[in-house]
Structure 1
């Protein structure tokens, strides 16, 4: 099985992160979560992996959360106590990148989608993205309000990420379904799991809800299989 790095961002759909973690571990994968501060408003990091036996931390990884969940503050262990970086100390986002066979960001909120598209790296998750080995697979599962999903920036950002992932030029006029289909057909390393239509947490009804946990798990399995066959 594989080492799966699960990125969690500040969408309400981050409430599904524990279920996704459980689904991936049930499939036999080793899973670590890198979460933005906003994401932790929607799930308790300490609840992740409670049903799993304690495992030794990977060399170089420092976390107060038993090696399952990593937050921005884990980039600077001891900082609150006045400690400073020493040459030779590990760099968390690099260690996570080295560890992972695949990077899956689910849910991917609008803010982080924009950061990924233009290369901003102002937290641990986006630093992993910027440092990612582009030959390794990525799965993105967007989740956001319907009007945020329909904003022209969203398709623009997806096309930009897809171009960097080897999909080439994708026409700007395409609707959601053909756009995502072309990304998934043409990129060897990127798969986008489209959001679904339902009543959202804010009360609006429309496309933007996170895809089902099983669909995201299947997409990760698919990309791992493709990587192994390459």
Structure 2
């Protein structure tokens, strides 16, 4: 949806995300390379170069693991390093999606509250519905249309 509407998109995947979907899918959709590992490509210091290139970040879907890493400042992969180095003058849209019990976990909710304190982060809460695991509850990714409209509202 973003590329069809004139956005230039570069995808950064956490290493575990590649177990759910192949980076080749995003390379085909965006016509750009997909970034996964730190120091994988040789052209620049990647996390800094990608921060300078991007006007804003969208992390979608955002796992409980990555959300917690962001909230605690852990930079152990390319994605979390980009988030840490991203200028505070630019927005980061976080779109969590996970099992309902993970979303309700009090430690995770403390991390969500922590991130909401910073203007840099915009959190789009998950919705209620059928989840990937077939449970029903809050944890479902909002519709792509809603995410797109949220992105448009941030620029």
* TM range, smaller chain: over 0.9
* Other structure's SS at 1:147 match: helix
- Cα RMSD, aligned residues only: 1.7
1:114–1:51 CA distance, 2 compared to 1 (3 A): closer
In the superposition, the TM-score normalised over structure 2's length comes to 0.92
Runs ≥4 residues deviating over 4 A: none
Q: How many angstroms apart in 1 are the aligned matches of 2:22 and 2:139?
A: 23
- Deviations, residues 77-131 of structure 1 (Å, cap 9, x unaligned): 47xxxxxxxxxx6211111000000011100100001000010000000000110
Aligned match of 1:168: none
**What residue number does 1:106 align with?**
60
Cα offsets for 1:140-167 (capped at 9, x unmatched): 10001000101112221111112132xx
Answer yes or no: is 1:164 the counterpart of 2:132: no
Give the conservation status (yes or no) of the 8 Å contact 1:191–1:219: no
Q: Which runs of 5+ in 2 are unaligned?
A: none
Q: Which runs of 5+ in 1 are unaligned?
A: 1-22, 55-66, 79-88, 166-188, 225-230
Cα distance, 1:44 vs structure 2: 1.6
Change (3 A) 1:135 1:90: same
Q: With structure 1 as the length reference, what TM-score do the two structures score? A: 0.63
Q: Does 2:15 align with 1:37?
A: yes
Contact 1:144–1:208 (CA under 8 A) maintained in structure 2: yes
**Aligned residue in 2 for 1:131:** 85
Pair 1:147-2:101 in alignment? yes
Query: How many angstroms apart in 2 are the aligned matches of 1:37 and 1:49?
Result: 16
Larger Rg, first or second structure (1 or 2): 1
CA distance in 2, matches of 1:203, 1:44: 23
Matches within 5 A, 1:44-123: 44-50=22-28, 67-72=32-37, 75-77=39-41, 90-123=44-77
* In 1: Cα distance, 2:52 partner to 2:13 partner: 17
